[in-house]
């Protein structure tokens, strides 16, 4: 569920990994993931030099304005995932085309999910 896979972020990740090869030869295999709509590298030790963190920060900044699913410009949005089991709100970076919010359905637990969805929109969605 936290996968950073997607045609939009793949070129950003590949470029960052090439740059990391230059500034940090023999670095550990990167573990990229998506958390609250942001691209994160979970396996980088905190004591790495400025050059390493510059590469990672550049990649995360670029991903923050690129749709994860396609290479179009994107922004943080609260989407609905897991419709096969009832679904839940999720923060992703996506474009207008890839953004999906299913119609409201009367189902068990919807009021709780709706409140959670609205809270996430308030906290995370970029309205610019």
What is the band of 43 on the pLDDT scale with cuts at 50, 70, 90?
A: confident
Instruction: Classify the C-alpha dihedral 13-17-19-23 as positive or negative.
Output: positive
Kindly indicate the confidence band of residue 30, based on its pLDDT and cuts at 50, 70 and 90.
Answer: confident
C-alpha angle 34-39-42 in degrees, rounded to nearest 5: 80
Residue-wise pLDDT tens digits, 65-103: 999 999 999 999 888 777 666 667 788 999 988 887 666
Q: Mean per-residue pLDDT for 112-124? A: 77
Q: How big is the CA angle at 61 (ends 8 and 76), to the nearest 5 degrees?
A: 65
Mean pLDDT of the chain: 84
CB 93 within 8 A of CB 47: no
């Amino acid at each position: 569920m936290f996968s950073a896979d997607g045609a939009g972020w793949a070129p950003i990740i590949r470029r960052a990994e090439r740059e990391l090869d230059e500034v940090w030869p023999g670095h550990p295999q990167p573990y990229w993931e998506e958390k609250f709509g942001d691209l994160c590298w979970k396996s980088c030790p905190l004591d790495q030099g400025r050059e390493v963190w510059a590469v990672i920060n550049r990649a995360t900044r670029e991903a923050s304005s690129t749709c994860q699913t396609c290479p179009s410009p994107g922004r943080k949005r609260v989407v609905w995932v897991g419709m096969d089991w009832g679904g839940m709100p999720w923060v992703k970076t996506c474009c207008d085309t890839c953004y999906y919010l299913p119609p409201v359905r009367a189902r068990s637990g919807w009021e709780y999910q709706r409140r959670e969805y609205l809270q996430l929109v308030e906290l995370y969605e970029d309205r610019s």
